A and B are shown apart, each in its own frame.
Chain A
Amino acid sequence: MSMFAVATVAVLVSMYMALIRAIRGPTVFDRILAINAFGTLTVILIAVHGFLAGRPEFLDLSLVYALINFIGTIAVTKFVKYRGMSDPDDEGLRGDL
């Protein structure tokens, strides 16, 4: 069993636990948190799978995942906090995350 296989199993087990937390909730913040962690675990899984399959060139995908994960977290947080995305935050503290 190679080291990549060990890492894959560890990541899959962690993904399962994160998924359960995302489903169970109870607050909306728990879900955001779990999905953010799930995204990071997916980034790891893709990188490790590249090495496992012997073709590690496809790490561009990991970068896209990390990027999408970040934007998604910010969007969801902003939505939860302000119930919308339209408010500019030039004045006062509205729109501040």
Chain B
Amino acid sequence: MHGKIILRVVSKFLIPYILLFALYVQWHGDFGPGGGFQAGVIFAAGFVLYALIFGVDTVRTVVPPAATRICLVVGVLLYSGVGVAGMLLGANFLDYNVLASTPTGGQHIGILLVEAGVGITVASAMITIFCTFAGRRRDDGEDPVA
């Protein structure tokens, strides 16, 4: 186990803070720079770091393939669902004014949910794409060291 310990310890120490920072970017996007897109990418970057050091298979036990696929759909449905909810309450598609008693309150809820949808989709899409690429072996070459 000698040698590999440094990267493992440092990354184990850092990954929770990376995910926390992603959540900060997600929910602080209303006030400062950031938002769902950036937060999703940073969240996925935490998992990418984990995959690089502990292997893609380990990540796949933490986040099973089915989970990322479901999250991928959930994010898109959450975004469209907010739009449809506005329609059901008697306004236009993606009009958030009617979601709460006051227009600004409705806008606040709508934007929060929409950003959450974007974040979930982007994070699960990035994790899916990375694991699909990295989990595959080269087709032409030999398996390096069985």
Contact = CB atoms under 8 A, between A and B. Distances in A.
Complex contact flag A–B (Cβ < 8 Å): yes
Interface of A: 57-58, 60-61, 63-64, 67-68, 70-71, 74-75, 78, 82-90, 93-97
A95 B145 CA distance: 11
Contact of B135 (A70, A86, A96): A86
Contacts of A90: 55, 58
A85 B51 contact: yes
Given A60-B34, A67-B42, A96-B3, 17 more contacts: A58-B32, A63-B21, A70-B49, A74-B52, A82-B144, A83-B138, A84-B138, A85-B51, A85-B52, A85-B56, A85-B133, A86-B56, A86-B136, A88-B55, A88-B56, A88-B58, A90-B55
B132 to A, nearest CB: 11
Contacts of A89: 4, 53-55
Contacts of B7: 74, 97
Nearest to A82: B144
A63 to B, nearest CB: 7
Contacts of B42: 64, 67
A28 B104 CA distance: 54
Task: Please tell me the size bucket of the interface on B.
Answer: 20 to 34
Contacts of B136: 86
A58 B38 CA distance: 15
B137 A78 contact: no
Contacts of B3: 93, 96
B138 A88 contact: no
Given A88-B57, A96-B4, A97-B7, A60 B32 contact: yes
